[in-house]
Amino acid sequence: MPLPDPHANEKTVELDQDKVKLLEEAKAEILAWTKHYNRLKLELIQALGDATAGTVDGEKVVYYRPKDQYAISRLEVDYPDLVEHFKKMEFREVLDVAAFGAQHPDILTKYRVRAFVERAT
């Protein structure tokens, strides 16, 4: 038995069907071009090998330089026992959103984030 829709009673407005169709088509094109871009990018990265820049007619056109960031999640998966020895406790100050909202709901509501989500195609 499916769960009831938690948003069944939300406010709705009728949209232009053609614009929604154009949006869906544009998204499909974006995904197709993104795949194409990623394939080409991977080919260029492989062509760079250990070089940090690539040229066309002697002019630098792409860069693949190391950054001061690390793939920590992959490091933890690949070397769990070793990584364990270098972990430390860290304490952070964070906003108690629930408590703030209980005291100042009118202010917090102005900062509510909304997500634009299209139906799955």
pLDDT, one tens digit per residue, over 84-94 is 999 999 999 99
What tokens were used for 89? 């406790």
- pTM for this prediction: 0.69
Counted domains in the chain: 1
Q: Are 107 and 95 in contact (CB under 8 A)?
A: no
Give the number of other Cβ atoms within 10 Å of residue 111's Cβ. 9
Flag whether 6 is in a domain. Answer: no
Flag whether 75 is in a domain. Answer: yes
Mean pLDDT of 35-54: 97
Flag whether 90 is in a domain. Answer: yes
Flag whether 2 is in a domain. Answer: no
Mean pLDDT of 73-82: 97
Flag whether 8 is in a domain. Answer: no
Decide: helix, strand or coil at residue 60: strand
Domain that holds residue 47: 17-109
Flag whether 3 is in a domain. Answer: no
Provide the percentage of residues in the chain whose pLDDT is more than 90.
Answer: 87
Give the number of other Cβ atoms within 10 Å of residue 67's Cβ. 5
Using the predicted structure, report yes or no on whether residue 83 has a pLDDT greater than 80.
Answer: yes
Flag whether 87 is in a domain. Answer: yes
